[in-house]
Copies of this chain bind each other. A is one copy, B any other.
Amino acid sequence: MIRVTVWNEYIHEQEQEEIRRIYPEGIHGCIAGFLKKEDDIEVRTATFQEPEHGLTEEVLQNTDVLIYWSHMRQEEFSDEVAKRIQRHVLNGMGLIALHSAHYSKMMRLLMGTGMTLRWKHDERERLICTAPYHPIAEGVPSHIDLPREEMYGEYFDIPKPDDVVFTGWFSCGEVFRSGCTFTRGLGKIFYFQPGHEEYPIYDNSVIQKIIINAVRWCRPVSRKMGQPDCTQVITTLEEEYQKR
């Protein structure tokens, strides 16, 4: 079983009637809903307003993959919890950062760059697969049309991704590296642009397929608890051979 924690800021859905109508259970509820149907995935959710944002040491120790959506409270998010997430990723926890989570504290800690981009409301997007060999693209068509989405445009100030699985085309004349993979420490990271709160993007079955694929791809290969310090080596290979 892959143990997934779906984290959502859950502010828009509580404060704005029109967003609540789109995601009555919250974005986290929507995502947890379709993940639960998979036999190899076990889901829990957490939100901003819980103590420690619901991401305690214990929760993260029991999380194989963290899915994370944030927007309005990026700056108010606890520095300590952001560092805790970073540490768990380096120790092997998978991370799927959705949409405006590009600018979350944990992503800025993990990436080290500015994470800035260009943006514009209400554009048409075509999401084009630019790495059809990647497990995240398994069973996904060569492109997906999203009639309404927030535009995110280049230059996107990220470190060079391992793979750009999807590239976004926007009708206003912009492109974006919309689906990017990274490895940090023992952890795999997938950043995925679609998912502006005003449109029911996570109800799209192909978007769901991509997120499910990503969960499987970024499950931990191995999991060590406790981040290593620099380690002193005492013996040489010669000495080890002589001991045998």
Chain A positions near chain B (C-beta within 8 angstroms): 86, 90, 92, 103, 109-114, 116-120, 123-124, 126, 128-130, 132-135, 137-139, 142, 145, 151, 153-155, 157, 159-160, 162-164, 167-169, 171-175, 177, 182-188, 221-222, 227-238, 240
Contact = CB atoms under 8 A, between A and B. Distances in A.
Contact of A126 (B128, B186, B227, B237): B237
A157 B231 contact: no
8 contacts: A90-B113, A114-B185, A116-B229, A129-B155, A133-B188, A145-B237, A173-B240, A175-B175
B120 A233 contact: yes
Nearest to A221: B138
Given A162-B162, A222-B132, A228 B157 contact: yes
A244 to B, nearest CB: 10
A40 to B, nearest CB: 15
Given A86-B112, A157-B90, A230 B103 contact: yes
